[in-house]
Chains A and B, each alone.
Chain A
Amino acid sequence: KAGVTQTPRYLIKTRGQQVTLSCSPISGHRSVSWYQQTPGQGLQFLFEYFSETQRNKGNFPGRFSGRQFSNSRSEMNVSTLELGDSALYLCASSPRTVLNTGELFFGEGSRLTVL
């Protein structure tokens, strides 16, 4: 069974640009969450999508947005990039819907560098 796939794995952008990251969840998983990991702040929750709807949102500015498609694939977008957006962006999928106690399956992440 294929794991969570994130693309691209590495990318470099300059300040002011925008970026789109993609996540393909494990087949059959309908919930997708996004996290940002930086050395200073650690792992922080960005948002969660289920059935193409955002279910939860972390404490990030509106420059960070996402969406989920009918096949459960998800994208996140960061507009007007800042140096502080340099981070590892992780996607996680989950098979559970009503019962929230299950595990999350993480991808290997997309490492974004903003120059």
Chain B
Amino acid sequence: DAKTTQPNSMESNEEEPVHLPCNHSTISGTDYIHWYRQLPSQGPEYVIHGLTSNVNNRMASLAIAEDRKSSTLILHRATLRDAAVYYCILRDVGRGRQLTFGSGTQLTVLP
């Protein structure tokens, strides 16, 4: 499986935008980029996913580099409830539905 690299931790101030980076230099053409987050004592929660074009939904935006070797999850206004571990995951459509989680980025939101 193609690997992703994320910073171990990041901090943000409440109500400010947060940019969470992810590097995936070995991404293949059939890999979708997925982001999940895990709040304390909960299961992972889907955030967003994309293939080539930037994507927006009610939770976040996903900016994908033109060469697809990196991507950035953007939380437009961080709240205390956004404090979680954020996972960037590559998912090959041809290899079933399993997700290969890395260690993720622990986001701390400061009041």
A interface residues (Cβ-Cβ under 8 A, vs B): 4, 31, 33, 35, 42-45, 48, 55-56, 58, 90, 92, 94, 96, 99-101, 103-109
Contact = CB atoms under 8 A, between A and B. Distances in A.
4 closest A-B pairs by CB: A106-B43, A103-B46, A43-B101, A56-B96
A35 B96 CA distance: 14
A48 B91 CA distance: 15
23 contacts: A31-B97, A33-B97, A35-B101, A42-B104, A43-B101, A44-B101, A48-B97, A55-B97, A56-B95, A56-B96, A56-B97, A90-B44, A92-B44, A94-B97, A99-B93, A101-B49, A101-B91, A103-B46, A103-B49, A104-B97, A106-B43, A108-B41, A108-B43
B43 A109 contact: yes
A100 B93 contact: yes
Nearest to A58: B98
A58 B1 CA distance: 13
Interface string B50-79: 010000000000000000000000000000
Given A33-B97, A56-B98, A104 B49 contact: no
Contacts of B87: 43
Nearest to A46: B98
Most B Cβ at <10 Å: residue of A55, A56, A103: A103
Contacts, number: 63
A57 to B, nearest CB: 9
Contacts of A99: 93
Given A42-B102, A100-B91, A106-B44, 5 more contacts: A43-B87, A45-B100, A48-B96, A58-B98, A96-B97
A100 B96 contact: yes
Contacts of A108: 41-43
Contacts of B98: 33, 45, 48, 56, 58
